[in-house]
A and B are shown apart, each in its own frame.
Chain A
Amino acid sequence: MNKIDIFKISNKKFKSRLIIGTGKYKNFKECAKAVKASGAEIVTVAVRRVNIVDKKKPLLMDYLDPKKITYLPNTAGCFTSSDALRTLRLAREIGGWKLVKLEILGDKKTLLPDMIETLKSTEVLTKEGFKVMVYCNDDPLMAKRLENVGAVAIMPLAAPIGSGLGIQNKLNIKIIKQNIKIPLLIDAGIGQASDATVAMELGCDGVLINTAIAQSKNPIEMAKAMKLAVEAGRKSYLSGRIKKNFFGSASSPKEGII
Protein backbone atom coordinates (compact mmCIF):
# COMPACT_ATOMS: atom_id res chain seq x y z
CA MET A 1 0.00 0.00 0.00
CA ASN A 2 2.96 2.33 0.49
CA LYS A 3 4.14 2.15 -3.08
CA ILE A 4 2.67 4.72 -5.46
CA ASP A 5 -0.60 3.54 -6.94
CA ILE A 6 -0.10 4.17 -10.65
CA PHE A 7 -3.04 4.43 -13.04
CA LYS A 8 -2.09 3.19 -16.49
CA ILE A 9 -4.07 3.76 -19.68
CA SER A 10 -2.55 2.47 -22.89
CA ASN A 11 0.98 2.62 -21.45
CA LYS A 12 0.54 6.19 -20.24
CA LYS A 13 1.00 6.55 -16.51
CA PHE A 14 -1.02 8.80 -14.24
CA LYS A 15 -1.26 9.40 -10.50
CA SER A 16 -4.76 10.82 -10.45
CA ARG A 17 -7.70 8.54 -11.14
CA LEU A 18 -10.08 11.40 -11.68
CA ILE A 19 -10.76 12.69 -15.19
CA ILE A 20 -12.48 16.05 -15.49
CA GLY A 21 -14.90 17.12 -18.20
CA THR A 22 -14.39 20.76 -19.15
CA GLY A 23 -17.93 21.65 -20.25
CA LYS A 24 -20.65 23.64 -18.46
CA TYR A 25 -18.34 25.90 -16.44
CA LYS A 26 -19.06 29.60 -16.06
CA ASN A 27 -15.87 30.35 -18.00
CA PHE A 28 -12.48 28.84 -18.83
CA LYS A 29 -10.92 30.47 -15.79
CA GLU A 30 -13.27 28.69 -13.42
CA CYS A 31 -12.77 25.47 -15.35
CA ALA A 32 -8.97 25.71 -15.09
CA LYS A 33 -9.21 26.41 -11.34
CA ALA A 34 -11.47 23.39 -10.82
CA VAL A 35 -9.15 21.14 -12.82
CA LYS A 36 -6.22 22.29 -10.68
CA ALA A 37 -8.15 21.74 -7.46
CA SER A 38 -9.19 18.25 -8.57
CA GLY A 39 -5.62 17.15 -9.21
CA ALA A 40 -6.77 15.63 -12.52
CA GLU A 41 -4.12 14.92 -15.13
CA ILE A 42 -6.58 14.21 -17.94
CA VAL A 43 -9.41 16.45 -19.17
CA THR A 44 -12.00 15.74 -21.83
CA VAL A 45 -12.50 18.35 -24.54
CA ALA A 46 -14.95 18.71 -27.41
CA VAL A 47 -14.23 19.54 -31.04
CA ARG A 48 -16.29 22.40 -32.45
CA ARG A 49 -16.23 25.05 -35.16
CA VAL A 50 -14.11 28.12 -34.38
CA ASN A 51 -16.01 31.34 -34.00
CA ILE A 52 -15.33 33.27 -37.20
CA VAL A 53 -17.34 36.28 -36.07
CA ASP A 54 -15.81 36.90 -32.65
CA LYS A 55 -12.16 35.98 -33.07
CA LYS A 56 -11.17 37.47 -29.75
CA LYS A 57 -13.13 34.83 -27.84
CA PRO A 58 -10.79 33.07 -25.40
CA LEU A 59 -9.51 29.61 -26.30
CA LEU A 60 -9.54 26.63 -23.95
CA MET A 61 -5.91 25.90 -24.78
CA ASP A 62 -4.93 29.30 -23.37
CA TYR A 63 -6.23 28.21 -19.96
CA LEU A 64 -5.38 24.51 -19.90
CA ASP A 65 -1.96 23.83 -21.39
CA PRO A 66 -2.06 20.57 -23.37
CA LYS A 67 1.65 20.14 -22.66
CA LYS A 68 0.94 19.98 -18.95
CA ILE A 69 -2.39 18.18 -18.92
CA THR A 70 -3.51 15.32 -21.14
CA TYR A 71 -6.32 16.32 -23.48
CA LEU A 72 -8.83 13.60 -24.17
CA PRO A 73 -10.82 14.70 -27.24
CA ASN A 74 -14.37 13.41 -27.20
CA THR A 75 -17.13 12.92 -29.74
CA ALA A 76 -19.89 14.49 -27.67
CA GLY A 77 -22.93 15.31 -29.75
CA CYS A 78 -22.24 12.59 -32.34
CA PHE A 79 -25.11 10.25 -33.15
CA THR A 80 -23.47 8.23 -35.93
CA SER A 81 -20.24 6.38 -36.42
CA SER A 82 -19.27 8.58 -39.39
CA ASP A 83 -19.71 11.78 -37.33
CA ALA A 84 -17.60 10.34 -34.51
CA LEU A 85 -14.84 9.20 -36.84
CA ARG A 86 -14.77 12.60 -38.55
CA THR A 87 -14.56 14.39 -35.20
CA LEU A 88 -11.70 12.29 -33.86
CA ARG A 89 -9.72 12.46 -37.09
CA LEU A 90 -9.99 16.25 -36.86
CA ALA A 91 -8.95 16.13 -33.20
CA ARG A 92 -5.88 14.16 -34.17
CA GLU A 93 -5.05 16.75 -36.82
CA ILE A 94 -5.14 19.60 -34.29
CA GLY A 95 -2.08 18.24 -32.58
CA GLY A 96 -1.57 14.54 -32.88
CA TRP A 97 -3.99 13.31 -30.24
CA LYS A 98 -4.39 9.55 -30.32
CA LEU A 99 -5.88 8.89 -26.90
CA VAL A 100 -9.55 9.70 -27.40
CA LYS A 101 -12.95 9.28 -25.82
CA LEU A 102 -15.54 7.74 -28.11
CA GLU A 103 -19.14 8.62 -27.30
CA ILE A 104 -21.92 7.92 -29.76
CA LEU A 105 -25.38 8.75 -28.51
CA GLY A 106 -28.49 6.90 -29.57
CA ASP A 107 -31.26 8.89 -27.94
CA LYS A 108 -31.54 12.64 -27.50
CA LYS A 109 -33.69 12.44 -24.37
CA THR A 110 -31.73 9.96 -22.27
CA LEU A 111 -28.36 10.45 -24.02
CA LEU A 112 -27.86 6.70 -23.76
CA PRO A 113 -25.13 5.35 -26.03
CA ASP A 114 -25.79 3.60 -29.33
CA MET A 115 -23.71 0.50 -28.75
CA ILE A 116 -23.91 -0.88 -32.31
CA GLU A 117 -22.37 2.31 -33.71
CA THR A 118 -19.95 2.49 -30.77
CA LEU A 119 -18.63 -1.03 -31.27
CA LYS A 120 -18.19 -0.49 -35.01
CA SER A 121 -16.35 2.80 -34.48
CA THR A 122 -14.06 1.40 -31.77
CA GLU A 123 -12.84 -1.21 -34.22
CA VAL A 124 -12.25 1.29 -37.05
CA LEU A 125 -10.48 3.82 -34.80
CA THR A 126 -8.26 1.16 -33.25
CA LYS A 127 -7.17 0.03 -36.72
CA GLU A 128 -6.32 3.66 -37.52
CA GLY A 129 -3.99 3.79 -34.53
CA PHE A 130 -6.26 5.57 -32.06
CA LYS A 131 -6.29 4.55 -28.41
CA VAL A 132 -9.99 4.51 -27.70
CA MET A 133 -11.59 5.00 -24.30
CA VAL A 134 -15.21 4.07 -24.81
CA TYR A 135 -18.32 5.56 -23.24
CA CYS A 136 -20.77 2.67 -23.09
CA ASN A 137 -23.70 1.04 -21.40
CA ASP A 138 -23.18 -0.88 -18.17
CA ASP A 139 -23.47 -4.14 -20.09
CA PRO A 140 -20.80 -6.73 -19.18
CA LEU A 141 -21.05 -8.59 -22.49
CA MET A 142 -20.72 -5.42 -24.55
CA ALA A 143 -17.78 -4.30 -22.40
CA LYS A 144 -16.01 -7.55 -23.24
CA ARG A 145 -16.70 -7.11 -26.93
CA LEU A 146 -15.30 -3.58 -26.84
CA GLU A 147 -12.15 -4.91 -25.20
CA ASN A 148 -11.90 -7.59 -27.88
CA VAL A 149 -11.96 -5.03 -30.71
CA GLY A 150 -9.19 -2.98 -29.12
CA ALA A 151 -10.64 -0.44 -26.66
CA VAL A 152 -8.02 0.80 -24.17
CA ALA A 153 -10.56 1.63 -21.45
CA ILE A 154 -14.20 0.82 -20.80
CA MET A 155 -16.26 3.72 -19.51
CA PRO A 156 -19.80 2.68 -18.62
CA LEU A 157 -22.34 5.19 -17.40
CA ALA A 158 -23.42 5.19 -13.78
CA ALA A 159 -26.65 6.88 -14.92
CA PRO A 160 -27.55 9.13 -17.87
CA ILE A 161 -25.13 11.98 -18.67
CA GLY A 162 -25.72 14.99 -16.44
CA SER A 163 -28.43 13.23 -14.41
CA GLY A 164 -26.47 13.11 -11.15
CA LEU A 165 -28.32 9.95 -10.15
CA GLY A 166 -25.28 7.97 -9.04
CA ILE A 167 -24.56 4.32 -9.80
CA GLN A 168 -27.78 2.58 -10.82
CA ASN A 169 -26.43 -0.91 -11.40
CA LYS A 170 -23.59 -1.79 -9.06
CA LEU A 171 -23.79 -5.45 -9.91
CA ASN A 172 -23.13 -4.88 -13.61
CA ILE A 173 -20.18 -2.63 -12.82
CA LYS A 174 -18.70 -5.36 -10.63
CA ILE A 175 -19.22 -8.01 -13.30
CA ILE A 176 -17.60 -5.78 -15.94
CA LYS A 177 -14.59 -5.35 -13.65
CA GLN A 178 -14.25 -9.10 -13.30
CA ASN A 179 -14.59 -9.71 -17.05
CA ILE A 180 -12.11 -7.22 -18.50
CA LYS A 181 -8.38 -6.61 -18.17
CA ILE A 182 -8.28 -3.00 -19.42
CA PRO A 183 -9.11 -0.05 -17.10
CA LEU A 184 -12.72 0.50 -16.11
CA LEU A 185 -13.91 4.04 -15.44
CA ILE A 186 -17.31 5.35 -14.53
CA ASP A 187 -18.31 8.01 -17.02
CA ALA A 188 -21.50 10.00 -16.51
CA GLY A 189 -24.14 10.05 -13.82
CA ILE A 190 -22.05 10.96 -10.77
CA GLY A 191 -23.97 13.43 -8.61
CA GLN A 192 -21.96 13.86 -5.43
CA ALA A 193 -18.65 12.88 -3.90
CA SER A 194 -19.96 9.70 -2.28
CA ASP A 195 -20.99 8.39 -5.74
CA ALA A 196 -17.36 8.64 -6.83
CA THR A 197 -16.24 6.80 -3.70
CA VAL A 198 -18.74 4.01 -4.33
CA ALA A 199 -17.49 3.69 -7.93
CA MET A 200 -13.92 3.27 -6.73
CA GLU A 201 -14.96 0.86 -3.97
CA LEU A 202 -16.63 -1.31 -6.59
CA GLY A 203 -13.19 -1.68 -8.15
CA CYS A 204 -13.34 0.93 -10.89
CA ASP A 205 -9.93 2.22 -11.96
CA GLY A 206 -11.12 5.78 -12.33
CA VAL A 207 -14.02 8.19 -12.60
CA LEU A 208 -14.88 10.84 -15.18
CA ILE A 209 -16.86 13.78 -13.84
CA ASN A 210 -18.14 16.94 -15.45
CA THR A 211 -21.61 18.18 -14.50
CA ALA A 212 -21.40 17.25 -10.80
CA ILE A 213 -18.46 19.63 -10.44
CA ALA A 214 -19.21 22.30 -13.07
CA GLN A 215 -22.84 22.81 -12.07
CA SER A 216 -22.38 22.59 -8.30
CA LYS A 217 -22.74 25.79 -6.29
CA ASN A 218 -19.00 25.87 -5.69
CA PRO A 219 -17.15 24.04 -8.46
CA ILE A 220 -13.68 24.56 -6.97
CA GLU A 221 -14.63 23.08 -3.60
CA MET A 222 -16.58 20.29 -5.29
CA ALA A 223 -13.50 19.50 -7.39
CA LYS A 224 -11.52 19.12 -4.16
CA ALA A 225 -14.28 16.92 -2.71
CA MET A 226 -14.21 14.66 -5.79
CA LYS A 227 -10.43 14.35 -5.58
CA LEU A 228 -10.67 13.19 -1.97
CA ALA A 229 -13.66 10.95 -2.73
CA VAL A 230 -11.82 9.13 -5.52
CA GLU A 231 -8.74 8.72 -3.35
CA ALA A 232 -10.81 7.50 -0.41
CA GLY A 233 -12.67 4.99 -2.55
CA ARG A 234 -9.47 3.69 -4.09
CA LYS A 235 -7.79 3.25 -0.71
CA SER A 236 -10.89 1.59 0.69
CA TYR A 237 -10.99 -0.83 -2.26
CA LEU A 238 -7.29 -1.70 -2.01
CA SER A 239 -7.47 -2.13 1.75
CA GLY A 240 -10.22 -4.73 1.48
CA ARG A 241 -13.52 -4.21 3.22
CA ILE A 242 -14.68 -6.39 6.12
CA LYS A 243 -17.22 -9.15 5.61
CA LYS A 244 -20.85 -8.16 5.98
CA ASN A 245 -22.49 -9.62 9.08
CA PHE A 246 -26.12 -9.97 10.09
CA PHE A 247 -25.30 -9.76 13.79
CA GLY A 248 -23.47 -7.29 15.98
CA SER A 249 -19.82 -7.71 16.82
CA ALA A 250 -18.58 -5.56 19.69
CA SER A 251 -15.56 -3.43 19.01
CA SER A 252 -14.43 -3.23 22.66
CA PRO A 253 -13.08 -6.34 24.44
CA LYS A 254 -15.32 -8.01 27.02
CA GLU A 255 -12.39 -8.70 29.30
CA GLY A 256 -12.15 -6.31 32.22
CA ILE A 257 -15.76 -5.11 32.00
CA ILE A 258 -16.68 -3.42 35.28
Chain B
Amino acid sequence: MLKKNKIKIKLNGKVISVDKGINLGNLINKLKFPLNKIAIEKNNLIVEKKKIKKIFLKSNDKIEIVHFIGGG
Protein backbone atom coordinates (compact mmCIF):
# COMPACT_ATOMS: atom_id res chain seq x y z
CA MET B 1 0.00 0.00 0.00
CA LEU B 2 1.27 3.41 -0.97
CA LYS B 3 1.32 5.93 1.87
CA LYS B 4 -0.90 8.98 1.50
CA ASN B 5 1.99 11.40 1.21
CA LYS B 6 3.83 9.36 -1.43
CA ILE B 7 3.52 9.01 -5.20
CA LYS B 8 4.95 6.45 -7.58
CA ILE B 9 7.16 7.52 -10.47
CA LYS B 10 9.32 5.63 -12.92
CA LEU B 11 13.00 6.51 -12.71
CA ASN B 12 15.25 5.00 -15.38
CA GLY B 13 12.74 2.23 -15.94
CA LYS B 14 12.35 1.43 -12.25
CA VAL B 15 9.25 2.25 -10.21
CA ILE B 16 10.11 4.17 -7.07
CA SER B 17 8.03 6.02 -4.52
CA VAL B 18 8.81 9.65 -3.70
CA ASP B 19 7.26 12.35 -1.53
CA LYS B 20 4.19 14.06 -2.86
CA GLY B 21 4.95 17.59 -3.99
CA ILE B 22 8.65 16.85 -4.65
CA ASN B 23 10.27 18.79 -7.47
CA LEU B 24 12.86 17.48 -9.89
CA GLY B 25 15.58 19.50 -8.18
CA ASN B 26 14.82 17.77 -4.85
CA LEU B 27 14.98 14.37 -6.56
CA ILE B 28 18.37 15.05 -8.18
CA ASN B 29 19.73 16.35 -4.86
CA LYS B 30 18.49 13.27 -3.09
CA LEU B 31 20.17 11.02 -5.64
CA LYS B 32 23.38 13.07 -5.33
CA PHE B 33 24.09 13.19 -9.04
CA PRO B 34 26.25 16.13 -10.09
CA LEU B 35 24.05 18.31 -12.27
CA ASN B 36 26.86 19.22 -14.65
CA LYS B 37 27.38 15.57 -15.56
CA ILE B 38 23.82 14.51 -16.34
CA ALA B 39 20.84 15.24 -18.58
CA ILE B 40 17.22 14.72 -17.59
CA GLU B 41 14.12 13.74 -19.49
CA LYS B 42 10.58 13.95 -18.09
CA ASN B 43 7.92 12.03 -19.99
CA ASN B 44 10.16 11.88 -23.08
CA LEU B 45 10.88 15.61 -23.12
CA ILE B 46 14.28 17.05 -22.25
CA VAL B 47 14.23 19.19 -19.13
CA GLU B 48 16.27 22.39 -18.99
CA LYS B 49 18.52 21.88 -15.99
CA LYS B 50 18.08 25.42 -14.71
CA LYS B 51 14.34 24.86 -14.41
CA ILE B 52 14.38 21.65 -12.38
CA LYS B 53 13.31 23.29 -9.13
CA LYS B 54 10.12 24.52 -10.75
CA ILE B 55 9.13 21.13 -12.13
CA PHE B 56 6.93 19.22 -9.69
CA LEU B 57 6.50 15.50 -10.06
CA LYS B 58 3.15 13.84 -10.53
CA SER B 59 2.12 10.25 -10.14
CA ASN B 60 3.33 8.01 -13.01
CA ASP B 61 5.82 10.57 -14.34
CA LYS B 62 8.59 8.94 -16.31
CA ILE B 63 12.02 10.35 -15.50
CA GLU B 64 15.21 9.41 -17.30
CA ILE B 65 18.61 10.54 -16.06
CA VAL B 66 21.59 9.90 -18.34
CA HIS B 67 25.31 10.55 -18.30
CA PHE B 68 28.37 9.73 -20.37
CA ILE B 69 29.98 6.32 -20.18
CA GLY B 70 32.75 4.70 -22.18
CA GLY B 71 31.81 4.00 -25.79
CA GLY B 72 33.24 3.74 -29.26
Residues on A close to B: CB < 8 A?
21-25, 28, 31, 44-50, 52, 55, 59-61, 71, 73-74, 76, 86, 89-91, 93-95, 161-162, 188, 208, 210-211
Contacts and interface: CB of A to CB of B under 8 A. Distances in A.
Contacts of A95: 36-37
Contacts of A208: 72
B68 A73 contact: yes
A40 B57 CA distance: 42
Given A47-B66, A49-B65, A50-B66, A22 B71 contact: yes
A52 B12 contact: yes
A158 to B, nearest CB: 13
10 tightest A-B contacts by CB? A46-B71, A21-B72, A210-B72, A93-B39, A22-B70, A45-B68, A90-B39, A49-B12, A23-B71, A23-B70
B9 to A, nearest CB: 12
Contact of B69 (A55, A60, A89, A188): A60
Nearest to A28: B70
Interface of B: 11-14, 16, 31-34, 36-41, 44, 46, 48-49, 64-72
B36 A76 contact: no
8 contacts: A23-B72, A48-B69, A49-B64, A60-B68, A61-B68, A71-B68, A90-B66, A93-B39
A211 B46 CA distance: 32
A52 B11 contact: yes
A149 B6 CA distance: 49
A76 B14 contact: no
